Chain A
Amino acid sequence: MIDAVLSMSGMALAAGIGLGFAAKKFYVQADPLGEKLVGALPGSNCGNCGFPGCQAYADALVASGADGNVAINLCTPGGTPTIKQIADILGVEPVAAKTDHGPRVAYIDEARCIGCTACIKACPVDAIVGANKQSHTVIVSWCTDCEACVEPCPVDCIDMVPVVTSLYDWRWEKPAGPNAQVAA
């Protein structure tokens, strides 16, 4: 009886010491998750995710871990590619983008624009051009759909309009698959 207890304890001790050493010796500096996540986010700090800036969203994601308390699809400007990257980093399944509208861009109604440059200052990616007291316009291909310009406009002349599909970016959809005709 005592032999058994001793031998088992001895083995447990040996294993414990071994593991302890191994943990020290082979310690891998964990790649800081937050840094990776910040890298995946657009970095425009637009606040659409509900957190004050990309860093804050990344921190929140790290804090929630893989539990999914914080959704991974909150970044609207990043869209699907960003969701995929976040999913990859966190090791979770990617989810669909949050917004139900498709991609949009800011549109300035030039008739109403007073040329106050407020939106130019707000735009994190310099996608709005124009001069003081002159009507502004949006560089459509630069716009990230972050809505940062909408709020500051004093005359409310900026709308987010859906990107119109042209012949050049029309795509064949993925076929519905063999189970498309699901019985009622």
Chain B
Amino acid sequence: MSQTNLLTTTSPHVHDGDSVANVMEAVIWALMPATAMAVMIFGWTALLVILITTLSCLVTEHLFLKLRKRPSAVADRSAALTGLLLALTLPPHSPWWMCVAGGVFAILVGKQVYGGLGYNMFNPALIARVFLLISFPAQMTAWPAVNPLFSEQAYSLGDSIAIIMTGQSSAPELADAVSTATPLGQYRTETGMGKTVQDAMGGKYTGYDEVRAASGLIGGSLGETSALLLAAGGIYLLRKKVITWHIPVTMFAGCLVPATIFWTFDPAHYPDPVFHLLTGGLVIGAFYMATDMVTSPITVKGQIIFGLGCGLLTYLIRTWSGYPEGVSFAVVLMNAVVPLIDQYTRPRAYGQVA
């Protein structure tokens, strides 16, 4: 009669073969060029920050799931991705304890307390970054200058370990000397003192120009500097259909359209849109943070509203708030309204009138 080796599970019986792990892995791969670039331009410290953060995410995930008596989901790559994303938002010289605190916070408070993968409300990496930014403002805004690997002023591996583990290197004078500001920080500080954008950017901070910003040779968090490589990864994700265009495009539009308008009318006080695009975390935010599936709307209309909101809030925060950079806050704030957006943007079902 019946053969027990035959399954009688529900249809559909075939599948396109994609999996959560595949999705996460694709995003990790897409981030690899920018990650490599980060290590290249910031040196071994960058690598250490990335490793410590990712590892603490993985360990937290594993231990917490064990505590909850759930199968370990480390294999689904989502914790690794969270760790990598968080690391890329940290300054190159983040002390080890900050990396660990961020990683633990991201997984524990950002994800597992909600019930684990799929249930969290906020992007775990960003909520951890916000947590670190508020808790440790000094460490989170200490920007060493670009310090490429294998260049003359590069730290040795030993120095790098010392910087991350103890906060001091054997060449402290070097560390002090290279402290700098991000272009966005520069702009906010200087214009805040009444200078025009042109004066501000032409003054103490001389490192900024479009080419350097696009390639990543500017100060900033590890992963946010190389707009070009980040965009390349983003396009790879679009082509692989891991993400759709709706959120990135609308997020760029939400930030750059107001930027263009204000710049057109008052270029002395408002920097041009290219500056907004190439500096800070707009590109990494638009392609990798806002598109986090768990914390973004599932409907197309919702994604468009969400993207616009993220972009607009980014611009508002960058221009008028107390913080020079606003991508993390913008995305986290928009995360909070995702359920609402989803509820009001349900597509019109087939055959339903209006």
Contacts and interface: CB of A to CB of B under 8 A. Distances in A.
Instruction: Say whether A associates with B.
Output: yes
Interface of A: 172, 178-179, 181-183
A172 B69 contact: no
B10 A182 contact: no
Contacts of B65: 183
13 contacts: A172-B10, A178-B118, A179-B70, A181-B71, A182-B69, A182-B70, A182-B71, A183-B65, A183-B66, A183-B69, A183-B70, A183-B71, A183-B72
Contacts of B10: 172
Contacts of B72: 183
Identify whether the interface residues of B are mostly helix, strand, loop, or mixed: loop
Contacts, number: 13
CB-based closest 4 A-B pairs = A183-B71, A181-B71, A183-B69, A182-B69
Interface in B61-102: 65-66, 69-72
A19 B70 CA distance: 52
Nearest to A172: B10
A171 B66 CA distance: 35
A179 B73 CA distance: 11
Nearest to B72: A183
B61 to A, nearest CB: 14
Nearest to B118: A178
Contacts of B66: 183
Contacts of A183: 65-66, 69-72
B7 to A, nearest CB: 14
Interface string B277-319: 0000000000000000000000000000000000000000000
A134 B130 CA distance: 82
A161 B222 CA distance: 70
A181 B71 CA distance: 7
A179 to B, nearest CB: 6
A172 B11 CA distance: 12
A26 to B, nearest CB: 33
Interface in B7-30: 10
A77 to B, nearest CB: 33
Nearest to A179: B70
A181 B66 CA distance: 13
A181 B72 CA distance: 10
Given A183-B69, A183-B72, 4 more contacts: A178-B118, A181-B71, A182-B69, A183-B71
Contacts of A181: 71
A107 B118 CA distance: 50
